[in-house]
Structure formats: C-alpha cells, structure tokens
Amino acid sequence: MSDFSDGFLWGAATSAYQTEGSFDVDGRGRSVWEDFADRPGAIEGGGDASVACDSYRRWPEDIALLEQLNLGAYRFSLAWSRIMPEGTGAVEQRGLDHYERIVDALLERGITPVVTLNHWDMPSALMACGGWAARRTVDAFAEYADTAAERLGDRVPWWITQNEPWIIQLLGYQLGLHAPGVRDLGAALAAGHHLLLAHGAATDAMRTHTTGRIGAALNLLPCIPASSDPADVEAARGSDGYVNRWFLEPLLGRGYPPDMRAHWERALGRNLDEVIRDGDESRIAGRSDFLAVNYYTHRVMQAAPIGPDRPFPWQVVADPSAARTDEGTEIVPESLTELLLRLHHDYPGVPLMITENGAIYGDSPTHDGRVHDVRRIRYLRMHLQAVRDALAQGAPVVGYMHWSLLDNFEWALGYRPRFGLVYVDYRTGDRIVKDSARYYAEIVRAGHLVEWDHKRPIGQVVDSLGAFG
C-alpha cells in the first residue's frame, strides 16, 4: 500500500543563481548578487557564482539525473537578469529560449516543471531606485512575470512567484548579510511588503497566459517557547508573527496580523500607512492557488529586552535536545508534521507543496568513488515520515521537492556547505550521485518509505537501482 497518493509530486529543487554560472552568456544582465559578491568579505572563502555548477551549459546532464532518480518534478528558477537584463523594458529572447528548452526537455521525459520567478537574484539595475524597498519594483516584477508566462505559461503547471520573502527582508535589507546588503529596518519592512504586493501583481498579469497554479514559497519556522514562562510564550507568539503570520495571513486572505503590525510600528516609531497603503492587502489576497512550504527547522524563543540590535522583544535560543546538521541547524522532523497540520487547520482547502527541505552534510567521495552520506539518508527518511504522518491526518500535501538536487553556491556561505543529493566536484563540474539520492529514488519508485537498517551497508539498499554517474 502506498504512503502517498498516486499523483504525489516527487522532486528536487535548485535555483538559477546557485547553479547556472555563465554570467556573460546570451545577453544576461548583472544581478544584485554579483554586486554583493564583489564586496570584500561578503562571501565565505571569497568565491562567487560565475561558474557554480555550470548548469547553464550542463543542464541536459542535470535533467538526465532527475530521470535516473525516478523523480517526477523539478523545481528550478528563471534568472530575471537573463530575461530582462535591466529588470524592465527590453526582453532578451535568448534567455527565454534557454528556459523554454529546459521546460520542453522536462516534459518530454514526463517530469513536471515547478518554476520559480524570483529566487533572490534581482537585476542590479533596479537598485538605482531602491530595489525591493521601492514600490516601483512591484510593476517591474509584474512585467517580468507577464513576459515569462506569455512564453511558458501553456506548459508550466506550477509557478512560484517569490522565494522566501522573509529571508530577503531580513538578510537582504535588515541585517545586510545577503544581497543587496542593506541594513535598514524601514527598508526591510518595505521590501517584505513589496515582495507580497509583487506576488499579487504578478499573479494578475500571468492569469491571461496560464492555467497553471500560482503560489509563493515561504520558509516557515514553527516557533516554540523556551519555557512555560508567560513571557517566553508571548515571545514565541511574537516571533511567529514576525516569521510566519506576517506573510501567511495577507497571502491567504486575512491581511497583516494586528499584533505584529503593532510590533513594527513600535520598532519604527511610526504607523505603516505610508508603506502598506489602502487597498494593498486586497491586492495580495486571493491570489494563491497553493502554498509552497520551505522547511528546515524550528525556532526556540525566549523573551529578551529590546536593544540597538534587537528591535523586537525576543531571541532565539538553542534546543539542547536536538540533533544538528554540519551547519548546526537543529533537526526536528516532528515540527514539520505539526506545521503541515497547522496550515491545514488554519487555512483549510489550500494545497501544500514542500518546495525545500534538506540538510548540510559535508560527505565527500571515498575510496570507492561513492558518497556514503548516511546522515542525509536518515534526515530524508525522518522528514518523509513526517510528511506521511501529516498526510495520514488529512493535510493536503501534493508534493515534496528535496533541497537540493546538486551541491551548489550557498549564497554568503560560498561553496563549503553541501546540500545536494548529487555531489559536484567544483574543479571539474563532474556529478556523483550520493547514496542518499539512490535511497530517495528507491522510495519514489516504491511509493512508500522502504525499510533501511542503519547497520546494513547502504549498497544493499540501493544497488538494485543500477549504476549512476
């Protein structure tokens, strides 16, 4: 008996900037991440993504990997700078041609394309007016979305407008740790709002070109109190407003939550009417056919005093009981079940697609030329068990995209972290399928969680899949 429905989408995910390279090919414009990478110390190790996985040239190999792994879906992003090098105006047809070839190749192999429009790589030219902190970027994004959907809308059944608006808001405009490297709380608020407003504007523009489902991808982090102290409970509620509800509620028709709006107004010392204008919330609402969920961990919250570097009265503390990835991320698969059930209960009828879930483990090829990433196998199984448990309790989960198909350029952390099901040798570009990918392929083929005994050599589980690259 299958643990998952017959139509369940099994896939893996990547993004354009993290994998493509080939910055100077086919008329591509510059993105904010090139500008950011040029800053001394901005990228760990001093690298950039000018080569990355070389997927702009090697994309047929990547699609072949998907096919070998039995995967029926591929989440990837279009590079805005390849289609509109200046962010608006002139369209570069060679960029559209490239993505059209990818979509057609996927469909020929029975692989469903799940296409993201903005995976953080905004064209640099738009920073002249403030980037996402400027309202006019909403119109630029809608123009880009309209152009992409006009070309590809008849073949792409799933569209994601924005990837992780909270991360863009927080790391890009509040803390300056990601591109464009702005450190301004007011700009962060505006950026987050404009990302949601652009989702609404893009969806409206795309509707004439596609019957595909359109949604946005949120990185949702269940927030739990560090203790039963009422102050910690309130801190967890506040953090949930900051990270989750501030984006969920307007997208799914309820408007910005009043409690978090009050936190923002206190932190900024003014009301939000200049940024969140009359009618904006109605332009965001009712424009999500599904919710894309990126899940990695939870947040354990403790009350803390407001200060110069803490605009809100809470802080994240460690969970001493949790296992961790090589990057220190706490591993809590049970929180994924709880999150999916919460979304099901709070927003009934909204289909849920897990569009990112994965872990950083630094395993590399051993003497036999293979990557025996046993910890990723364990991580994958635990999180798929969590999805299965949520499905059994009625959560409408329609698919799971593992992050990532490939090891890639991990933004400000450079090339050290490895998220991939497939190992990439950055010197040669060669791909090596990890044992976790082989195990995932076995699950997909079976349609349920196959047994895996951690005491048994991994080869006994996966050798039946045959030889991979």
Q: What are residue 320's DSSP bridge partners? A: none
- Catalytic site includes residue 410: no
Q: Which tokens sit at 154?
A: 């008849």
Closest CA to 127 of 82, 192, 182, 184: 182
Residue type, 466: G
DSSP 8-state class, residue 156: -
Residue 265 to residue 279: CA distance in whole angstroms: 19
DSSP 8-state class, residue 91: -
Q: Which of 92, 143, 164, 281 is catalytic?
A: 164
Closest CA to 256 of 310, 197, 214, 298: 197
Can you spell out the DSSP letters for 100-131?
A: HHHHHHHHHTTPEEEEEEESS--BGGGGGGTG
**Is residue 457 classed exposed, middle or buried when 0-12, 13-18 and 19+ CB atoms within 10 A define those classes?**
exposed
Can you spell out the DSSP letters for 332-363?
A: -HHHHHHHHHHHHHHSTT--EEEEE-------
Q: Which of 20, 356, 410, 442 is catalytic?
A: 356
Residue type, 310: R
Residue 207 to residue 200: CA distance in whole angstroms: 11
DSSP H stretches of helix in 347-455: 374-392, 435-446
Q: Strand 431-433 relative to strand 422-424: parallel, antiparallel, unpaired?
A: antiparallel
CA dist list (Å): 363 to 280, 335, 396, 419, 463: 47, 26, 34, 10, 19
Residue type, 171: L
CA 5: distance to chain centroid? 24
Q: Strand 223-225 relative to strand 299-303: parallel, antiparallel, unpaired?
A: parallel
Tell me if 344 sits within 8 A of 395, measured CB to CB.
Answer: yes
- Catalytic site includes residue 108: no
Residue 221 to residue 202: CA distance in whole angstroms: 26
Residue type, 153: G
Residue 22 to residue 30: CA distance in whole angstroms: 11
Residue 444 to residue 440: CA distance in whole angstroms: 6
Residue 28 to residue 79: CA distance in whole angstroms: 9
Residue 119 to residue 219: CA distance in whole angstroms: 12
Residues recognised as catalytic: 164, 356
